[in-house]
Structures are given as C-alpha cells and as structure tokens.
Chains A and B, each alone.
Chain A
Amino acid sequence: MNLGLIEYGVVAMAFIITYLATNRLISLLVGVKREVLDYHKEGKSFVAYPGGPAIIFGLISSLLVSIILTNDIRIIAILGVVIISSTIGIIDDFKSLGGRKKPLLLLLASLPIILLGAYEPNLDFLFFGSAKLSIIYPLLILISIPVTANTINTIDVLNGVSTGFVIITAIPLLISLFLIGDSSMVLVTLILISVCLAFFVFHKYPSKVFPGDSGTLTLGAMYGAIAIVGGVELIGVFAILPAILNSFFYLSSMRDFVEHKNIKVRPTRVLKDGTIEAERNDDAPITLVRLIVAGNPSKELPIVNTIFILSIVSAILATIIGILTWVI
C-alpha cells in the first residue's frame, strides 16, 4: 500500500484550507459578535462560535479531491455522512434542536453508507476470526453514526478536547488501515487528522474558537464512518472508550438525552480563581471531567491534559488489538 505525492498533497491541502478558513471565520465571528462565554475561565472570557463551518469546508473540499483521485465509492459514502451530519450540526448551532431530536436526525447521516452499500458485514477481531452479520450489520451502522457523533459532541466541554481527542484516537484507525493495506481509507483518515490538527491550532487552550455542534458532530460522524467503511469498527470502539464511558455516565445519570446547557445541576463548579471542582450534589450528572476533578480540584489545562493521557491509554490499547488482529 502506497500513498503518492498527490495524496500527501491532498492531506496538506486539508490542513492549509482548514487553517485559513478557521482564521478567517474567527475574524468574521468576532466582527459580528457571535461569541459565547468560556464557562471554565476566571472572569468573563468570550470565544468565537461556531468554528464548525471551517472544519466542514476543509473536510468536504479534501474529500471531493480524494473522490476524483481514487474513484472510490466508499469515500462518496463518507462525504454523504459528513454533509448530512454537518447540516444537522449547523442547524443545531443556530437553532437548538434539543437533546432527543438530534440523535434521531443523526440516524439520517448513516444512510449514505447503507444505501451505497459501502460496507462489508463482517467484524474482524483477533484470533476469534471474522463474524458475518448480514442482517444485524445495517442496523448497527444506523446506530453507530449517531453514537460516535454524540460521543465526540459530549466530550467537547473544555478547550481543545474534541479536536485533540479525535487526533489521538484516529491514530489506531490509521495504523490498522495501514496494516490492512486500504490506501483510500488511510488517505481519508489522514485528512481527518489533518483537518483536526489545523483547527486544534486555534481550539487548543486557551481557545480562540469553539467548534460548536457543527464541528463536533461532523468529526464524530466521520470518525464512525471511517471505522465502519474501513472495517475497523472494534478498533474504533476501543480507541474512543473514554468518550463512550463519558456519554454512558452522562446518559445513565441524567436518564434522558439532556443538552449540557439545560442541566439543572452542573457536574462541576468554577471557583473565582478558575479552579474547577466536582459538584457534590448527587443530582449532578457523572462526567469524565467530574471524575477527574473529584477530590482533586484543578485548573482547566491539567484537566485537558488528563483527558489526553486517558485518550492515549485507550489509543495504545486499540493499536495493540489492531496489530494483533492484522499482523498475527
């Protein structure tokens, strides 16, 4: 499996387009005073929002070039997923869709993969071999895209977390796809990483822009689409385990799809000096950040770094599984 200079050029193009688009978008958003309060900073700090359109622009333009280069129908399916999920995200950024409507609408984002038949109904897992799931697999696809999209959306609570998390957890996918020898999917994964890296320059602590639902839902949906279309579903599950756990804790403690902004008791409290501490009230949702600061109040940056360390742990475990599955 070899990527040529042109393919690497597309990856570089994805970075440059996203970088320039984000830079321009920030100026535009600040100019029209479209900013939101950065809740976890001391004092009142406002950040441009939503930066998702720059991510979407970078992804769509690079995927279109990749389709021309590879003529691979699977990339058309991924482009379809990106377009539908980003449309839902943009609508949600400007007119909140509510906690229940959003995952339901995201079911639509799975359709391009199912309708174009851009999947193999097999699950490969270590020495347990390959399981053929002809009937169940399309149903799993239908659920998977909303799950990954919402999972990345739910973890996006601190500066730089969502994009940094996607960069780290896409590496096991990249290694597995490289071992399988799927050059088209390696290219698409590199585009995802490249776009996230370009956005991360502005999103990292202290953030100049927030991706918004348009950014996080698109990145999560594309992550899920790559895992499914590339046939590395279980590697994807292992890699994003910290975010999956975060979503499950949140859902099981809230017992409903409730938007972060509509929570009655927040999981954490920000003290005057910017230190974040865990809420002691039992009604507060259980989230990854609450677990990190429980009995250990911290500033924002160490918490972000802890989330990245946990992501690296899960990414290493996923990579080991990938290597064991496709090398041995």
Chain B
Amino acid sequence: MKNVIELSSIIFIAFLLVFLVSAIIFTIIVPLENPFTFQFSEILIVILKLVVSFGLFLIWVFIIQKIITRYLKKKLNS
C-alpha cells in the first residue's frame, strides 16, 4: 500500500478541481442573464452555458490526465 498517500493526494486534487469547476458554474455561468432580445435567444444562451460548462469539464480532464501520466511515468521508471 505504498502508493496510497500519493493516490489519495490525486483524489484530493481531483476533488478540489471539481469543487472549483462547480463553484464557477454555480456562481458565474448558471446565473448569467440573457443579454439578447431576439427570438430563440433563450436556447442560444442555454447552448452557450452548456458549451462553457463542458469546456471547464474538459479542462478538468486535461489537468487530471497530465497529473496521472506524470505519476505513472515516475513510478514505472523508479
């Protein structure tokens, strides 16, 4: 069980990042008012919010993947 502390740290980092992403979504993206007045603008703003949220999710995946790949390389070379 040598790797348990390092893996727990990775879980904790992943948790903090999910927390951060959720905070951004909850405080900035979701409450965003619709600035447009044209027809179907409601749908457009929903799609925009969805795309930005998905982008944040991809950033989370990218960061975690980098951390994991570095960890695996270090461990396999040790």
Contacts and interface: CB of A to CB of B under 8 A. Distances in A.
A and B: partners?
A: yes
Interface of A: 123, 125, 128-129, 131, 133, 135-136, 234, 237-238, 241-242, 245, 248-249, 252, 278, 280, 286, 290-296, 298, 302, 305-306, 309-310, 313-314, 317, 321
B68 A280 contact: no
29 contacts: A125-B22, A125-B23, A125-B26, A128-B23, A128-B26, A131-B25, A133-B30, A238-B15, A241-B15, A242-B11, A245-B10, A248-B61, A248-B65, A249-B65, A249-B68, A278-B72, A286-B69, A291-B3, A291-B75, A292-B3, A294-B76, A295-B75, A296-B75, A306-B1, A306-B4, A310-B8, A310-B11, A313-B8, A317-B15
Interface residues of B, number: 34
B26 A245 contact: no
Given A123-B26, A136-B46, A248 B8 contact: no
A252 B65 contact: yes
B59 interface: no
A278 B76 contact: yes
Interface string B47-65: 0011000000000010011
Interface in B13-61: 14-15, 18-19, 22-23, 25-27, 30-31, 46, 49-50, 61
User: 3 shortest A-B CB distances, which residue pairs?
Assistant: A294-B75, A295-B75, A128-B26
Nearest to A132: B30
B76 A241 contact: no
Contacts of B65: 248-249, 252
Nearest to A128: B26
A291 B72 contact: yes
B14 to A, nearest CB: 6
B23 A294 contact: no
Contacts of A292: 3-4, 7
Given A249-B68, A292-B7, A314-B15, 14 more contacts: A129-B26, A131-B26, A238-B15, A238-B18, A241-B14, A242-B11, A245-B10, A280-B76, A286-B68, A294-B75, A295-B78, A314-B11, A317-B12, A321-B19
Nearest to B30: A131
B22 A128 contact: yes
A246 B23 CA distance: 24
B65 to A, nearest CB: 6
Given A280-B76, A294-B76, A245 B14 contact: yes
Contacts, number: 94
B39 to A, nearest CB: 16
Contacts of B3: 291-296, 306
A136 to B, nearest CB: 6
Contact of B2 (A237, A278, A296, A310): A296
Contact of B11 (A131, A241, A295, A302): A241
Nearest to A123: B26
A278 B75 contact: yes
A296 B45 CA distance: 49
A93 to B, nearest CB: 31
A245 B14 CA distance: 9
B68 A291 contact: yes
A314 B7 CA distance: 11
A225 B22 CA distance: 21
A265 B61 CA distance: 23
A201 B23 CA distance: 40
A294 B72 CA distance: 7
Contact of A310 (B4, B31, B64): B4
